[in-house]
Amino acid sequence: MSNPIIIAIDAMGGDDSPNKVIEGISLHSNISEDVKYKIFGDKNLITPLIKKYNLFTEKFEIIHTNNYISGEDTPLSAAKRGKDTSLWLAIETLKKNDAHAIVSAGNTGALFLISKLNLKMIENIDKPALSALWPSKKGMNVVLDLGANIECNSKNLIDFSIMGSALLNALFKNVRPKVALLNIGSEELKGNAIIKDTFQILNDQKYSIFDFKGYIEGNHLMDGDVNVIVADGFTGNIALKTAEGTSNFIIDELKKALTTSIIGKFSSLLNFNNLKKFKNKLDPRLYNGAILLGLDKPVIKSHGSTDSIGFANSLKVCEQTIKGKLIDKIKENIR
């Protein structure tokens, strides 16, 4: 394997770890030829799983540590005692340029704080933003910020627009970013002072990396008319949780309707392919992998409760951001 992409992985974070992590690595390694994994965690737990999931020895390296950060740790306590934990050591490897990116399904607050302590911010960016992919009628949307910053000013929202557009470019080369600000209405007079000020700046200045499309309301997030949706972390996180809850509700109710009666079961058999496509469209595992944008190295957060399929998809997102030169694209366009 010549000049492989190296991904540092915190194997101990999240539910059912390290089992789902190692299985996810195995799933991802089957579709990626030029990726190597630095796996941080308890070697005594990881080694049997390596054998169980038939991960080839030339594709990974295990860095042993007994300690890890739990979901109950506060970010501050995790940072204070965390220098020999799987999460800290994985991020430190990125800092030393011994890996190209990090993926963790562990404690979100700890991941953010330890990443900020070890990694540099990209010049001219004040705050990092948490970004993720959402499906739409016409493809995929990049949405940010999803909770890293409760309060944002106009400059932050403009930076998010540029970083989100760079992410879309890195993941989907032939798609032109179309940016919209998430707001309570589509009229120019709607919203608070910060979002109205941001609207004016984005509307007056022309940015080469994206086209500005004004405001978007929550009920139009998945229409597909725009593909980069920008909000402060408070608003974005509520939108994310609402969308996830609605998706789970629809899937659960559909399952009930199709399995609780003979007619429902017969209907599900007749429409099996269409139902499978529908389920995949809403399956959060297939869009797993949030990116902390603004740092000078890619930091990817896998959902803590996802399974091995979801973790494998976070590795896929990680690989795409590296191959798509995400950090370089942000640096080229930020002012």
- pLDDT at 96 > cutoff 70: yes
| Token representation of residue 236 | 């974005």
- pLDDT at 273 > cutoff 70: no
258 and 301 share one domain: no
> What band does 186 get if pLDDT is binned at 50, 70 and 90?
confident
Residue 121 DSSP one-character state: B
Q: Is residue 333 part of a domain?
A: no
260 and 166 share one domain: yes
CB within 8 Å of 104: residues ≥ 6 apart: 9, 10, 13, 14, 87, 90, 111, 300, 301, 302
Query: What confidence tens digit (pLDDT) does each residue in 58-80 have?
Result: 899 999 999 999 888 888 888 88
On whether the CB atoms of residues 37 and 61 are closer than 8 A, the answer is yes
227 and 320 share one domain: no
Q: Is residue 334 part of a domain?
A: no
305 and 165 share one domain: no
162 and 307 share one domain: no
| Cβ atoms < 10 Å from Cβ of 219 | 7
Q: Is residue 134 part of a domain?
A: yes
Q: Is residue 71 part of a domain?
A: yes
Q: Is residue 26 part of a domain?
A: yes
Q: Is residue 174 part of a domain?
A: yes
**DSSP-based three-state secondary structure for 113:** helix
pLDDT computed for residue 286 by the predictor: 80
CATH number at residue 259: 3.40.718.10
231 and 175 share one domain: yes
On whether the CB atoms of residues 17 and 105 are closer than 8 A, the answer is yes
pLDDT computed for residue 16 by the predictor: 93
Query: Count of domains in the chain?
Result: 2
| Token representation of residue 155 | 């400059």
Q: Is residue 332 part of a domain?
A: no
Q: Give backbone dihedrals phi and psi of 38, rounded to 5 degrees, phi first.
A: -100, 110
36 and 136 share one domain: no
151 and 108 share one domain: no
256 and 140 share one domain: yes
- Segment 253-280 shows an average pLDDT of 64
220 and 303 share one domain: no
> What band does 227 get if pLDDT is binned at 50, 70 and 90?
very high
Range of the domain at 211: 128-287
Q: Which of 298, 280, 290 is nearest to 314 (CA)?
A: 290
pLDDT computed for residue 190 by the predictor: 82
Q: Is residue 335 part of a domain?
A: no
108 and 172 share one domain: no
Gap between the Cα atoms of 42 and 19, Å rounded? 12
Flag whether the pTM goes above 0.85: yes
162 and 279 share one domain: yes
